[in-house]
Amino acid sequence: MATPAPNPTRAQVPPLGTERPVVWPRRFRRTLANGLEVALVETRTIPKFTADLYIRSGNAVATLPGLAQMTATVARTGTSRRTSHQIEDALRGWGADLSISAGADTTSVAFAGLAEFARPLLDLVYEIVREASFSAEEFERERRQKIEGLRIDRTTPEFLAAERLRKVLFGAHSYADYAPTEQQVEAYSREALIAYYRENYAPANALLVGVGDFSADVMWKEIEGAFGDWKGAPPERAAEPEPPKSHGRHVYFVHLPGAVQTQIVVANMAITRRHPDWMRLALANNLFGGAFNSRLVRNIREEKGYTYSPRSSVHALRQHGFFSVSAAVRNDVVAAALTEIFYELDRIRALPVGEEELADTRSYMSGVFSLGLGTQDGIAGQLGGVLLDGLPEEYLEKYRERVRALQPSDVLEAARRYFDSPNAQIIVVGDGEAVAGQAALFGEMEKFDAQGNSI
């Protein structure tokens, strides 16, 4: 910091009290005869329950980019037994919420409601994943809305940066498609949606996580009753090409005329959550820029005031993962911000971290991991994430001790392997006339317009 901050009078900072044990609630796990995996947790914090039905297929296996998302969107608008209005009225009358969306790897039906209406809500979810009607009218309406939404997305700096980043990192791999083009959405057909739905919405391809105010035995019977008749084999998976290897830094500039701020992303390929290096990478990321109290935030926000929300993240998709550093900065400090980002990347790759900084980050990680314990949503999120990634459920219990075992050498190794500063890909979204010259200082530069065309 430019002005060194005085240390607090240490004697006055109250020490931490005795740690109370962190106990993850017991999980009830069973699989239906049709292959649907079920994981349940009883917790009676409020008279509700929350659940996620995960289907292990997403946009990466669809015939067109975003088609899994469109399938999910339309599936919710009607079944063989209910119109869209009837679905929405029923949900409201049960005090329920339901949303359905598809990412690259997974389609999620998230639903929650009053415990007293659990069974009718389960029955409705079954209808949506099994008997969706895909009405032509709803499909056409949703398709038009999607196109209008995409037009707005392509004026949004974060979207443009994410879209370009995926293309750069993943090349011919389907993860390269962050969103469809308008032409691709025009090419969707009702038949293609139905074909995707029939192939992928199968019980042996699904996981149901439920958390809330119920008895697991009773809930299990309700789930058996609601989903027992669901049939279908898991889909076959085609092999995917490997993402390209990066050689040297490159700059990809997306021109957004009139932008009064510049979105920067610096990224490289990394690993999935199943990789043995995951914990040390997660720690290195938190120390670097994942927490408020991290090097990146201290530097470019709290010392220099370049940006409001700098952040580094590790993104784990099913087949591949990547690391990214992002910041929206004012136009006159694009080069300065990139310089500091690379300074911090090179520093963490070159020099071992001190014991105190490491201890602080370990405590942060182990504490924050447990914050979800207090709520139904929090437990559902953590448990769902672990099971979906194919990790053993003991991951929840072992997480804290694994974090606490990490050493300075772990941070150094992870940073050298996965913060690939020499081969980083740099995405810059901004007004070309104002800032492209600054971006070009950091590598060979290609320029694009907001529609993705080279310019």
Residues in 151-210 that interact with other proteins by CB under 8 A = 151-152, 155-157
Q: Which is nearer to other proteins, 116 or 242 (CB)?
A: 116
Q: Which is nearer to other proteins, 131 or 158 (CB)?
A: 158
Residues in 1-20 that interact with other proteins by CB under 8 A = 1-3, 5-9, 12-20
Instruction: Say how far apart CA 177 and CA 179 lie, in whole Å.
Output: 5
* In the complex, least distance from residue 236 CB atom to other proteins, rounded to whole angstroms: 33
Locate 241 and state its tokens. Answer: 């090409």
Q: Which stretch binds other proteins (CB under 8 A): 58-66, 101-109, 112-120, 314-322?
A: 112-120
Instruction: Say how far apart CA 147 and CA 131 lie, in whole Å.
Output: 26
- Which of 192, 366, 395, 445 lies at the binding interface for other proteins (CB under 8 A)? 366
| 136-153 helix and 190-200 helix, angle to the nearest 10 degrees | 90
- Which of 215, 231, 242, 292 lies at the binding interface for other proteins (CB under 8 A)? 292
Q: Which stretch binds other proteins (CB under 8 A): 33-41, 62-70, 150-158, 338-346?
A: 150-158
* In the complex, least distance from residue 66 CB atom to other proteins, rounded to whole angstroms: 17
Residues in 383-442 that interact with other proteins by CB under 8 A = none
Q: Are 334 and 435 in contact (CB under 8 A)?
A: yes
Q: Which is nearer to other proteins, 20 or 247 (CB)?
A: 20
Q: Which is nearer to other proteins, 258 or 276 (CB)?
A: 258
* In the complex, least distance from residue 75 CB atom to other proteins, rounded to whole angstroms: 14
Residues in 340-359 that interact with other proteins by CB under 8 A = 359
Residues 6+ apart with CB under 8 A from 360: 293
Locate 445 and state its tokens. Answer: 């530069």
* 113 interacts with other proteins by CB under 8 A: yes
Residues in 38-57 that interact with other proteins by CB under 8 A = 43, 45-48
Instruction: Say how far apart CA 342 and CA 443 lie, in whole Å.
Output: 13
Instruction: Say how far apart CA 156 and CA 159 lie, in whole Å.
Output: 5
Instruction: Say how far apart CA 37 and CA 216 lie, in whole Å.
Output: 14
Q: Which helix (H) or strand (E) holds 316?
A: strand 311-316
Q: Which is nearer to other proteins, 76 or 130 (CB)?
A: 76
Residues 6+ apart with CB under 8 A from 406: 279, 280, 283, 358, 362
Residues in 203-242 that interact with other proteins by CB under 8 A = none
- Which of 26, 89, 422, 451 lies at the binding interface for other proteins (CB under 8 A)? 89
- DSSP for 102-157, please give it: E-SS-EEEEEEEEGGGHHHHHHHHHHHHH-B---HHHHHHHHHHHHHHHHHHTT-H
Q: Which is nearer to other proteins, 351 or 371 (CB)?
A: 371
Residues in 303-332 that interact with other proteins by CB under 8 A = 303-309, 328-330
SS3 219: helix
Instruction: Say how far apart CA 178 and CA 143 lie, in whole Å.
Output: 17
* In the complex, least distance from residue 48 CB atom to other proteins, rounded to whole angstroms: 5
Locate 265 and state its tokens. Answer: 């992303």
* In the complex, least distance from residue 295 CB atom to other proteins, rounded to whole angstroms: 11
Q: How many residues sit in the footprint of other proteins (CB under 8 A)?
A: 88
Please give the distance of CA 449 from its chain centroid, rounded to a whole number.
26
* In the complex, least distance from residue 366 CB atom to other proteins, rounded to whole angstroms: 6
Q: Which is nearer to other proteins, 45 or 407 (CB)?
A: 45
Instruction: Say how far apart CA 309 and CA 301 lie, in whole Å.
Output: 8
